[in-house]
Structure 1
């Protein structure tokens, strides 16, 4: 199969990144994905929680089902109160560092009202050493309590852009990059095994969609596609006499697909890791190992589903994740796509069998 052209990757990522789908309101993203995969589906359904599940029957081993998951939701904010002067109080939906918020542009509610996050002006708040979310407000240019409705979601106001031939910038790359990969995987099918593609909801607030989807699918094995933090940025606490600041990255842009050894939600089975590494090396696919144990993915819910499911996480490293301006490298995207496809072509009922 031909690799997906980079121009297609960029265009697809742009559409998915610019779409808004804060956890619990993934409708816009889901419709884009339905339109993208409909022609490659043998069966397509949306469950009660909002997961989009797409079945593509295997050509030679249709009874062996591999679930491939990528979550549609993104981190964001939610309106919790509207003050009499029209300013909005809010809380986070998913993991957001409050320090990135002051001055950011946002979009509020289904009508995408433009707003900006405000904090005490710097000349008035020099004694404030930390940023607390409850000290922030959002200004949408209103002057009364009709400014917004309680519970409305708030998304980063950010546009996708290519910074170079291979480096892309955008919001929600965790995990629209996984969604884009899954679309491309389906486009390359069918595979020997049956693929159950699960575009899941509410990952950022507790892996909720994946829990429900795995119960429905009952997979024999699973692949989770993610955007994961890249740590190849300078340590600002290091004072160098000369030259560049040092880095100690567990993962970095441009070094290949990331294979997760362990995180807070799952320790990868050594059989699974051996299979992935051998497959990557046989295909000449660059990969890197994630050794930082923090964070979690849909794999945490899927690998404990039913009687247990051999599960692997393939990630594209992203700098500045959970911000309006995450960065990724399309070369890493290509490595993730090639490895997922190679795994699907070489996996069968004996691959993870315990002797």
Structure 2
């Protein structure tokens, strides 16, 4: 089930006269004619509870809001708002408090006048969506997140969109920097933990009840192996498919454009391999009782792998002692090493089963009415 993670939306009021909202305003004058041009206003940053932020801008004619409505005034957004109307209701509450008109639905649209030789575009009478992110959660099993992400990072998706796997293996992007769309997979527990550490470094810190809730959420995501799938649809794609008209488009209209990762998952089988060092295998099987002994035997195993004749290097008693230890975990250093016949560090391999994440009963679901009663302030 997809829900909305980010929403950028704007509306033009051609009659003008709206209050200017921003942090700074720049007056402009045409030096040749002396004509006064419309002022340039930058964005105002609003901060709500739990370090959540929205940005608002109004230059007297155009009202624009950017942010994550599913995260606004909430501790987290593991599960977010599923309808555009709910997201706009949150934004309209903010606009009302700033004395700005609300975003309204389009009821009709017409062709915009365009230069000669350029294709015509449509202009609506309501709010225009300029960016929208759709996201959902997958449960892949504890400890299997990186294997799942790495497996899918081996494939291009859509029309030749190449993967970019981050060095830590917890994030993969397709189409990064594109003006059309970007898709992403990432380890949700890792992302939550990073945000928590960032909040803990702030002067105000994290309240004990919030810390307990977020910690439980991180533990739940780790135990389930939660991988987040996101699709960010940018302005060029929205206009190309006439998806920018709030009130005319429905949530279902976006679905055909956010299936690339789903299609890739249907064509690839991802397996999860658990690897364990020789030393840890020796300790786990009870062959040795100290890590020092395990590391010594692993050292001789490595030399054997590289072609060293251990019979020439060790005394007879030492050779048979280390041979007995390694045979207990299925390795015979009495034979010549053959890489095609063994994989000594592979502990287990299994196919990853992907399923939708079940939300725990203690999870605090998003409620628009609750978000709209909490106070917020301008910070920039």
TM-score, structure 2 normalization: 0.25
Tell me the TM-score normalized by structure 1.
Answer: 0.26
* Rg larger for: 2
- Higher helix residue share: 2
Query: Per chain length, whose mean CA-contact separation is higher, i.e. which structure has more relative contact order (CA < 8 Å, sep 6+)?
Result: 1
